[in-house]
């Protein structure tokens, strides 16, 4: 199967409460998530990411459109489509009276996982909670609760794992543990991973493919590497030895003097070469103390695309 998730024409209108008008959070979203990928769903606040994820998880009812999960139409085979997906939610809502081991057993029961197929100890070990297996959830730290939420998402051995803002506000150790586990689940078990994050650097590093949504619509979906290539602007930063005078630059190159005296030359890689720039700098009689280049990153792509969509 090529796509783990297929979303077609997905609309969600939240009923307005009191005097507030109804809100169209998704306006006919089309999206596919390839099987075996680590897929990033990005977008500004209120773009519709959580709504999309909650519909996939079966927590929010869509207004219209088609959702297929692991080949199962959500409307026709709700049980199978739910069984194929595990969701680690944003909120840390856990029953305080359950222990981690107890919570996993209950979750396994809810999904009808036979006793012989349960792996409570193994999952707790994977998320680093073995020594807390029998502690009450109310005594767990915020980080431990997140580990437990990840563990709960895995009890029914889903093919697809969805993580909604998994690293928001967590410390470095937990973040590394989460990403280590995500990579392992993806590489060793072929699990398809979908995640939302506000940390673009993280998405750039972790995700093979990225979709950006804005105002309930898809802005772009592409391989991360292709997205980064879309912006072929590059900046050469020159630290001159002494003050730099005017430089006679090729057309289309923008010159900016930074507060530290460095000269930033922004150019289009397709039109101007680094060599041309360096020649122009030399011709201006500038001695170069240091030179470096800055590539576009996902943040530039994100800003440029969500901006132009507006």
Ligand X SMILES: Nc1ncnc2c1ncn2[C@@H]1O[C@H](COP(=O)(O)OP(=O)(O)OP(=O)(O)O)[C@@H](O)[C@H]1O
Summarize as ranges the residues that interact with ligand X (CB under 6 A).
14, 23, 25, 43, 45-51
Report the nearest approach of ligand X to the CB of residue 273 (Å): 40
Asked if 137 contacts 99 with a C-beta cutoff of 8 angstroms, the reply is: yes
CB of 218 to ligand X, least distance (A): 13
Q: Give min distance, CB of 12 to ligand X, in A.
A: 8
CB-nearer residue toward ligand X: 91 or 131: 91
Q: How far is the CB of 282 from ligand X (least distance, A)?
A: 48
Residue 20 CB, shortest distance to ligand X, in Å, is 8
Nearer to ligand X (CB atom), residue 45 or residue 93 = 45
Q: Which is nearer to ligand X, 47 or 126 (CB)?
A: 47
The full DSSP string for the chain is --EEEEEEEEEEEEPPPTTPPPEEEEEEEEEEEETT-EEEEE-STTSSHHHHHHHHTTSS--SEEEEEETTEETTT-HHHHHHTEEEE-SS----TT--HHHHHHHHHHHTT--GGG--HHHHHHHTT-GGGTTS-GGGS-HHHHHHHHHHHHHTT--SEEEEESTTTT--HHHHHHHHHHHHHHHHHH--EEEEE-S-HHHHHHH-SEEEEEETTEEEEEEEHHHHHHH--EEEEEEEESS------PPTT-EEEE-TTS-EEEEEETTT--HHHHHHHHHHTTPPEEEEEEEE--HHHHHHHHHHHH-
Return phi, psi of residue 198, to 5°.
-95, -5
Closest distance of CB 264 from ligand X, Å: 32
Q: Which two structure tokens, joined as six digits, stand for 139?
A: 């005594």
Residue 195 CB, nearest approach to ligand X (Å): 12
Q: Do residues 126 and 51 lie in contact, with contact meaning Cβ atoms separated by under 8 Å? A: no
Nearer to ligand X, 51 or 107 (CB): 51
Tokens describing residue 222:
């592409």
Residue whose CB is less far from ligand X, 48 or 166:
48
Q: Considering beta carbons, is residue 89 or 240 the nearer one to ligand X?
A: 89
> Between 50 and 224, whose beta carbon lies closer to ligand X?
50
Q: What token pair was written down for 52?
A: 């999309």
Q: How far is the CB of 151 from ligand X (least distance, A)?
A: 23
Angle between helices 172-189 and 142-154 (to 10 degrees): 10
Our CB check for ligand X shows the closer of 107 and 214 to be: 214
User: For residue 102, what are its two tokens?
Assistant: 């107890």
Kindly tell me which of 32 and 63 has the beta carbon lying closer to ligand X: 63
Q: Supply the minimum distance, in Å, between the C-beta of residue 13 and ligand X.
A: 9
């Amino acid at each position: 199967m090529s796509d783990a998730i297929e979303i077609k024409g997905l609309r969600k209108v939240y009923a307005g409460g009191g005097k507030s008008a109804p809100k169209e959070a998704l306006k006919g979203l089309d999206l596919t998530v390839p099987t075996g990928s680590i897929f990033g769903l990005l977008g500004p606040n209120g773009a519709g990411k959580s709504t999309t994820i909650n519909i996939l998880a079966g927590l929010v009812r869509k207004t219209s459109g088609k959702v297929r999960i692991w080949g199962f139409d959500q409307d026709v085979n709700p049980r199978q489509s739910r069984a194929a997906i595990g969701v680690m939610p944003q909120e840390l809502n856990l029953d305080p009276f359950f222990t981690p081991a107890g919570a996993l057993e209950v979750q396994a029961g809810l999904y009808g996982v036979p006793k012989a197929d349960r792996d409570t100890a193994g999952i707790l070990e994977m998320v680093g909670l073995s020594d807390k297996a029998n502690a009450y959830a109310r005594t767990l730290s915020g980080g431990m609760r997140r580990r437990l939420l990840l563990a709960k998402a895995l009890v029914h051995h889903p093919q697809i794992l969805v993580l909604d803002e998994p690293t928001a506000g967590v410390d470095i150790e937990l973040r590394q543990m989460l990403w280590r586990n995500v990579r392992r689940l993806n590489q060793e078990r072929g699990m398809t991973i979908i995640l939302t994050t506000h940390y673009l650097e993280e998405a750039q590093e972790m995700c093979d493919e990225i979709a950006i949504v804005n105002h309930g619509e898809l802005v772009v979906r592409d391989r991360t590497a292709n997205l980064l290539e879309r912006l072929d602007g590059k900046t050469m930063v020159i630290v001159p030895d002494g003050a730099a005078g005017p430089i006679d630059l090729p057309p289309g190159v923008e010159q900016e003097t930074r507060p530290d005296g460095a000269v930033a030359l922004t150019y289009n890689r397709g039109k101007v070469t680094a060599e041309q720039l360096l020649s122009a700098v030399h011709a201006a009689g500038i001695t170069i103390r240091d030179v470096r280049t800055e590539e576009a990153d996902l943040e530039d792509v994100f800003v440029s695309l969500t901006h132009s969509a507006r």
